[in-house]
């Protein structure tokens, strides 16, 4: 019988854990979960929620902790100063980027103290890079967030969600200035980064930049991310580099994604529901990630606490314990033995859920979509970032462009 | 420009509001949301979370409030004493049903005070009725919960989730003893209750039992529930009865459900993801409910805060204001005008989302499922409730039965 | 071991056969099969092929005969004089309707002589009726075809494909003037004819008009047609009338059809491929039709020879013999035991095919369509028939109308 | 206005035509079409139909001719002596392989004379090769068919349906002994032949063996075959070889096929209906094949006469004429302008059909299937060919093996 208490204490560092072969479970997707809860705006993915509604951010951290997460990542996605100023946001003016980052650190540390978790400070890709600013300008942006993370003494650092490995290398180089362990994940698929650098080459570049852990996050479903990480692993092995592997995929099925991932899907971001992974999909993902040799296993957009719990339950035999949230859950549906209806009690077994192909309930909808592919990349006028909100005129031009390109 | 502040105060009663034609927005589904957050167990749907993790229940109430709910329904679903004792639960012994109900009332009242919401005490169908106990025994069960609701002075009462109108009538009769307004919803579809009483007849019976508001909740998707409520409305009109209408459907597409609703679907309760309503599905539902003359409009299992917000946004023109949570949301995707990618900014319009048929991302899965239909009803041995947990032997018999009946 | 020779001779009449409880297998769909083979034009469904390409019509008759059909129905669908003149056809002028009907009779009789089959002369609904001509005018139209059938001495007569029972009654009354047995089928679903007459009432009306056999053909899939015939059967039983039942459904899955059937589906008539029944679907249909008490079992549009063979194979135990075409087919895939690949040999069993849910191979397509519903019925200007081909201007108006009504 | 008469006569050879850049339209799939018509058995794909039912084979040839085919390929697929003896067939004994091949030649020549078509004698892969017989033994097999083709003076020769390029090379070498033009097609996908030889290398090998035309047939859908032919083209260009390209894909959508093609799909061969190409799918295919530079464009299994007609209609502007069968068809549905229902007349336009995503009408079925992959290749015991019919015991072993491997 597995217990609900992890064997080790919370003292070990992320690298001690990974070096000893321990599984580290990441957390899930803050911006999508908080958007659904009413605290975050899709588009700017407003990290100021940490200041405006700390109770909501805290509660989500706590749920991931109870579900088995060993890492409380600060809710600082898109919280660089240049991003906070972007497209009409009021944060830089009314709150300040520093305060947003500080509040996020404080919440993460508070909840980490409630269980066996480390705090990781996170940075992500910047509008400065996309708008072709210089290396030193971009690094300055990262350095401002790092100052907060250092002063708040986070346990390690994560550079995540980079579409261009070059920017990720810059981020890693800045984060390494702190002396703390650094993880770096790209939001790329098996075809590589937006400049066409292959996953294997990306992994090697990140390792050479100083990353202790490399991998992917966001943009693709677990099966696609596993392929990408496998390519990274092969690249690292070919270069004879020892770097830990990390994976934090979407909780959406995206077999139809092209090079740029789920953002191009017509359903992004407000009609992705039918693609959401079931907990059984997550079981399969966790097992395959483990078998591939990945030991930092988590999730990104779409991952809710119950998805993280499924990772922890799948890997409970290896880890020797279950997460707190499993007190209200039986692995593989076993908790249904208490259901009123006998035919639901009959579903209280692994074989049932493993074989089930869930119906969409949507007979007028297709299985796959054609992703948008406007063929624009870094440097194109349509991609330049601006401080002002998009104007009515700019929007109308986009609407017309869209109608020309597709049928909706 | 709509404001985020409702015009009226919080003084008016539920009947004053409905009598004046005002829209009252219900809340969403607690048991499914809290199961995903790690606090509730599927099957017994453990309401003791209100005692064990009040912060989680409070936060969900708050999210519904911010999303536009005007009713904080106490989290007392399946919190009758006979249910809490059922199938091996420890609550009656360790906590007491009274404490569970009291804690739920306190949390609901606390959050209601943060905005424009009333508190409703809720009762639901009992194992006593399903196990053929007498009218007086069943009524005693309801009366114990009512005592708490009275002492905590809730604003009104809801009898919900009844598969047999007879039990709902008994519940209404008990609740009316308090002198407070009473709403009653059945979890039935257009074919009527499990004894075959038609929706129209059910509505009339509930009205005659004293219900001020009648309708349906749970078990079926919005389109099916609208059909059922339409039949109820016609029944009431034929009987020349003035009773308000209420609707709280599932947030799952269930076009393939039979008589007993989504519990019979093979995906229940752990693989319903592909069926989840998008916010745009909810817009359509809210408009059709309003057009049908329903004024108490909410949700049940699967409804997350963003679904409730969609009701409030769709009906904002009629109500004159938007919910707090819309500060981080633009109606019909308009907030995407701040997205980095130009092709996502092009989705910032109603026409786009209204026409989109979202893909499931699951090309190996069907659109519809065959519901289980074991053909057992109240009184059948398989449906008798027991205090002990289901034994291994009982489960094995059910597994065998299931394999004989279907292919999974 | 079943033989390939039917036990009885070809002397018995259709009514002798049905009265003795024998199964009579109808034929399949000529217009759709010949359209795919290049001899018939969709729209007017040009029956002049019997004159222009007798070898093609003869070969299709022969294939149905070999597949097990006991009826060679003359290829005279839409071969009434008013229809042949319709919308720019040249037949009335260059060939004459009489010659078309005569050629069809000759071919049917020739092939019937090659096996155990009767010849049935067929009439179908007329543009005269749809254009509101009088009963006597419409009857004159039918009488002209009957004259040919009488002179060619067909074995019995079929009035088929009527959307309005009234016109079918007129047809039956005319056909009965010959003294030959008469079968009558409507192309209606469970909701009744286009005037809203229920299937039960339709059946009784046809029986009273003199039909010896009544049922449905075309417009709906087998499952829907079975429902309609069941309603007809109940109507006849309630009226204590003894009339034989007949069923000739589409070979297309049409779960999404409304009142008017598959013509309203967006895929009609040139993109119905994904809906085509497999032979295993036909097995199920044949068994259910037999169990319902229907003894005249055939097919309509979409039914190819192998579909008819599936009826004959399913009912071979009852009939005591297999059709000629089964010499090159093993029931339930047993012939695959000779396939090269071992995994295909493993499919040589009933259980395999019975359980298989065939994939569409079309992940960008939905399962169901919204049928067109322009809400026009008999008498509406858009439905008036004309002799001239539709003009460019008329077409443009229709295209515009269509774009307003739907998304394609 | 295009005529229905081709400009040139029938004198030109296949190479004259291709050298002049003319489009040559192949025919469709005989074995699947004749199986559905009741003359061919799935598995051995019994070519003896040419002797037993010449009228059926002749009629199908004629339909392809009328649809636009410029090649009447002798119905000699799987008509090598070793194949005819295989697994319990009676042909070698009762009819003789020579007679089967002669009859097929006579029919093809007769129908070719009715229009503008050449006669091609065809050979295909042999059980001798799969059972590891020697090169000289396998070549002897091909030579016996070639003797008939030579004596019947066919216009050119086709070696088709080879899974291993080595066997195809042997076939080409034998066929070239006749001095006639030789075409060679493999049934491979973009991943190459069953020994892993890439499409580019395969094309070069076939060219070096003497093939004047190379390409692919069968096993994959048009989109996949186009990819393979593109790779062949690139291989030939890299090797600076001038060889004509040919393509004859399936008329089934097979996006889910693996290395070995549609035979591994669970639906093969009796439940492929939902995958059948519409004529509009064929239009797209014909255009893309033409744009790729392929000039010998036809079909394989599943291609019915109307599919071939769609090739001829799509390329009519380039060719300057329409096929005979278009007299009963309007390109892109224009013939519907004569339909009774106005909403069907509104479908008489290219834009309508081009944009339509046809529904499957099968809401309980998935879009894709998992192909069987037993992992056996040439040389494995399960693949050895035998003269006797598969025994009951052998079948049972296969059924058990299948159940272990998948869920059906």
Closest CA to A186 of A168, A208, A210: A168
Looking at per-residue confidence, does B239 or B374 come out higher? B239
Contact map slice: D 258-277 vs C, CB within 8 A: 263-277
Q: What is residue B7's predicted lDDT score, i.e. its pLDDT?
A: 54
Cβ neighbour number for residue A134 with a 10 Å cutoff: 10
The residue in chain A having the minimum alpha-carbon distance to the alpha carbon of residue C357 is A357
Contact B407 C367 (CB under 8 A): no
Closest to B8 measured CA to CA, from B23, B28, B27:
B23
Chain B residues whose CB is inside 8 A of the A404 CB are none
pTM, 2 dp: 0.93
Helix (H/G/I), strand (E/B), else coil: A302: coil
Q: How far apart are CA A401 and CA A174, in angstroms?
A: 39
User: Could you tell me which chain B residue has the CA closest to the CA of A396?
Assistant: B346
Mean pLDDT of B345-367: 95
φ, ψ of residue B224 to 5 degrees: the values are -70, -40
**Is the predicted pLDDT of residue C394 greater than 70, yes or no?**
yes
The mean per-residue pLDDT over the stretch C324-330 comes to 95
DSSP letter at D14 equals H
Compute the C-alpha angle C345/C351/C354, nearest 5°.
110
Instruction: List the Cα angle C278/C39/D27 in 5-degree steps.
Output: 70
- Please count the other Cβ atoms lying within 10 Å of the Cβ belonging to residue C123: 31
- For residue C368, the chain B residues in CB contact (below 8 A) are 367
- 3-state DSSP helix/strand/coil percent for chain D, to nearest 5? 50, 10, 40
- Phi and psi at residue A245, to the nearest 5°: -105, 150
Say if residue D218 carries a ligand binding annotation. yes
Question: 68-87 in A: which are within 8 Å (CB) of B?
Answer: 86-87
Interval B293-300 mean pLDDT: 98
pLDDT exceeding 70 applies to what percent of chain D?
Answer: 94
Question: Which of C363, C364, C368 is opposite residue A364, by nearest beta carbon?
Answer: C368
Q: Looking at residue C1, what is its pLDDT?
A: 59
CA dist D370 to B207, B363, C357, Å?
Answer: 54, 10, 12
Asked whether D17 and C306 are in contact (CB, 8 A), the reply is: no
Mean pLDDT in residue range D340-344: 86
Sheet holding A118-124, edge to edge: A24-25, A296-297, A244-248, A213-217, A182-186, A156-162, A118-124, A71-73
Q: Is B193 helix (H, G, I), strand (E, B) or coil?
A: coil
- In a mutational test of the B interface, the residue from C363, C365, C368 whose CB has the highest number of chain B CBs within 10 Å is C363
Residue A5 resides in a domain: no
Residue A7 lies in a domain: no
From B327-331, D28-32, D270-274, D299-303, the region with the lowest mean pLDDT? B327-331
Q: What percentage of chain C has pLDDT greater than the value 90? A: 80
Interface membership of C369 toward A (CB under 8 Å): yes
Looking at residue C8, its pLDDT comes to 52
Instruction: Tell me how many residue pairs between chain B and chain D have CB atoms under 8 A apart.
Output: 22
Does C377 touch chain D if contact means CB atoms closer than 8 Å?
A: no
pLDDT band at B92 (very low <50, low <70, confident <90, very high): confident
Q: What is the dihedral of CA A254, A258, A262, A263, to 10 degrees?
A: -160
B259, two tokens: 């008589």
Report if residue B394 sits inside a domain: yes
| pLDDT exceeds cutoff 50 at C320 | yes
Contact residues, chain B, for C357 at CB < 8 Å: 366
Closest CA relative to residue A59, chosen from B74, B324, B58: B58
Whether cis (ω within 30° of 0) applies to the bond prior to B8 is no
Shortest distance between the Cα of C370 and any Cα of chain A, in A, equals 8
Radius of gyration in angstroms for the set of CA atoms belonging to chain D, rounded to a whole number: 21
pLDDT band, residue B74 (cuts 50/70/90)? very high
Q: How does DSSP assign A314-353, residue by residue?
A: HTHHHHSB--GGGGG--GGGGGGGG-SSHHHHTT-SHHHH
Nearest to A263 among B44, B271, B344 (CB): B344
Average the pLDDT over C344-367 and give the result.
95
In a domain, B213, yes or no: yes
The tally of CA atoms less than 13 A away on the side-chain side of residue C224 is 26
Q: What are phi and psi of B401, to 5 degrees?
A: -60, -45
Residue C124: predicted pLDDT: 97
State the total domains in chain A: 1
Inform me whether the pLDDT recorded for D10 exceeds 60: no
What pLDDT band is residue B389 in, cutting at 50, 70 and 90? confident
| Domain-located, residue C332 | yes
> Is there a contact between C197 and C156 (Cβ–Cβ < 8 Å)?
no
Tokens of A9: 């204490």
Range B32-36 average pLDDT: 98
- Say what the pLDDT of residue B377 is: 64
Query: If contacts are CB pairs under 8 Å, which of residues 196-255 in chain C contact chain D?
Result: 221, 252-255
Minimum-distance CB partner of A363 among C364, C366, C407: C366
Contact D275 C360 (CB under 8 A): yes
Q: pLDDT-based confidence at D87, cuts 50/70/90? A: low
CATH code, D173: 3.20.20.330
* Percent of chain C's residues with pLDDT above 70: 94
Q: What is the pLDDT of residue B408?
A: 38
Residues D407, A355: C-beta atoms closer than 8 Å:
yes
Q: Got the DSSP string for B309-351? A: HHHHHHTHHHHSB--GGGGG--GGGGGGGG-SSHHHHTT-SHH
Q: What angle do CA A146, A147, A149 make, to 5 degrees?
A: 60
Residue at token pair 């254009």? C131
Least confident of A13-22, A288-297, B266-275, D328-337: D328-337
Give the up-direction half-sphere exposure of residue A205: CA atoms within 13 A in the CB hemisphere.
Answer: 18
The residue assigned the tokens 């047939």 is D217
Confidence of residue A88 (pLDDT cuts 50, 70, 90): low
In a domain, C339, yes or no: yes
Are C224 and C257 a contacting pair, CB within 8 Å? yes
Higher pLDDT, D260 or D144: D144
Q: Does residue B375 carry a pLDDT above 90?
A: no
* Cα–Cα distance for residue pair D330/C49, rounded to 1 Å: 17
- Whether the CB-CB separation of C215 and C229 falls below 8 Å is answered with yes
Report pLDDT for C407.
Answer: 45
Q: What is the average per-residue pLDDT within C69-98?
A: 89
- For residue D260, the enclosing domain spans 14-374
SS3 assignment, position B103:
helix
Q: Read off the tokens for B64.
A: 């519904």
Q: How confident is the model at residue D402 (pLDDT cuts 50, 70, 90)?
A: confident
> CA-CA distance, B176 to B155, in Å (whole number)?
13
pLDDT at C408: 38
Residue B57: band (very low, low, confident or very high) from pLDDT cuts 50, 70, 90: very high
The residue ranking higher by pLDDT, B407 or A251, is A251
* Backbone φ and ψ of A213, nearest 5°: -140, 130
A:305-344 residues touching chain B, CB 8 A cutoff:
305-306, 309, 324-325, 328-330, 333, 335-344
With bands split at pLDDT 50, 70 and 90, how would you rate the model's confidence at A270?
very high
pLDDT tens-digit series, residues D134-161? 999 999 999 999 999 999 999 999 999 9
Nearest residue in D to A367, CA atom? D367
Cα–Cα distance between B148 and B81 in angstroms, integer?
12
Tokens encoding A105 = 């650190």
N-terminal to C-terminal alpha carbon distance within chain A = 54
- Decide: helix, strand or coil at residue B3: strand
> What residues form DSSP beta bridges with B184?
B159, B214
pLDDT in tens, D63-75: 999 999 999 999 9
In this prediction, residue C376 has a pLDDT band, given cuts at 50, 70 and 90, of: low
Phi, psi dihedrals of residue B244, rounded to the nearest 5°: -75, 155
Q: What gap in Å lies between CA A238 and CA A227, rounded to an integer?
A: 17
Alpha carbon of residue C43 to chain centroid: 16
- How far from B323 is each of A40, A368, B69, CA to CA, in Å? 14, 34, 9
Residue B134 located in a structural domain? yes
Least-confidence region, from A285-294, A377-386, B159-168, C241-250: A377-386
Contacts of B among chains (3+ CB pairs under 8 A): A, C, D
Enumerate the residues of chain B whose CB falls inside 8 A of the CB of residue C363: 363
pLDDT score for B227: 98
pLDDT tens per residue, range A104-154: 999 999 999 999 899 999 999 999 998 899 999 999 999 999 999 999 999
Kindly report the average pLDDT of chain B as a whole number: 93
**Are the Cβ atoms of C38 and D263 closer than 8 angstroms?**
no
Q: If we measure between CA atoms, which residue out of C304, B203, C275, B17 comes closest to residue D39?
A: C304
């Amino acid at each position: 019988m597995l217990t609900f208490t992890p064997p080790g204490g919370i003292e070990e560092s992320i690298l001690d854990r990974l070096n000893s072969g321990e599984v580290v479970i990441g957390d899930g997707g803050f911006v999508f979960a908080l958007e659904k809860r009413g605290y975050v705006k899709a588009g700017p993915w407003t990290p100021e929620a940490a200041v405006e509604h700390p109770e909501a951010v805290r509660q989500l951290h706590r749920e991931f902790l109870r579900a088995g997460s060993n890492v409380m990542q600060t809710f600082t996605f898109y919280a660089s100063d240049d991003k906070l100023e972007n497209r009409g946001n009021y944060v830089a003016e009314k709150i300040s980027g520093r305060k947003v980052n500080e509040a996020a650190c404080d919440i993460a540390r508070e909840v980490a103290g409630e269980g066996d978790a480390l705090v990781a400070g996170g940075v992500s890709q910047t509008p400065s890079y996309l708008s072709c600013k210089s290396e030193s300008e971009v690094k300055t942006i990262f350095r401002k967030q790092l100052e907060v993370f250092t002063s708040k003494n986070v346990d390690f650092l994560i550079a995540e969600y980079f579409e261009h490995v070059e920017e990720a290398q810059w981020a890693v180089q800045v984060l390494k200035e702190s002396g703390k362990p650094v993880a770096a994940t790209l939001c790329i698929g098996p075809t590589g980064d937006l400049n066409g650098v292959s996953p294997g080459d990306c992994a090697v570049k990140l390792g050479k930049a100083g990353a202790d852990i490399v991998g992917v996050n966001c943009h693709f479903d677990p099966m696609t991310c596993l392929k990408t990480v496998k390519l990274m692993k092969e690249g690292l092995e070919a270069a004879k580099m020892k770097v830990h592997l990390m994976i934090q995929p979407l909780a959406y099925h995206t077999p139809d994604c092209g090079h740029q991932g789920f953002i191009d899907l017509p359903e992004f971001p407000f009609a992705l529901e039918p693609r959401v992974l079931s907990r059984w999909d997550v079981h399969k993902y966790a097992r395959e990630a483990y078998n591939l040799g990945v030991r930092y296993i988590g999730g990104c957009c779409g991952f809710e606490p119950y998805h993280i719990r499924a990772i922890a339950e799948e890997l409970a035999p290896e880890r020797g314990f279950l997460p707190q949230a499993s007190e209200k859950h039986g692995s593989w549906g076993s908790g249904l033995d208490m259901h009123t209806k006998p035919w639901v009690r009959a579903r209280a077994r692994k074989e049932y859920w493993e074989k089930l192909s869930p119906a969409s309930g949507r007979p007028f909808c297709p299985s796959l979509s054609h992703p948008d592919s406007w063929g624009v990349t870094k440097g194109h006028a349509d991609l330049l970032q601006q401080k002002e909100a998009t104007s009515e005129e700019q929007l109308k031009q986009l609407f017309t462009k869209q109608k020309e390109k597709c049928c909706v």
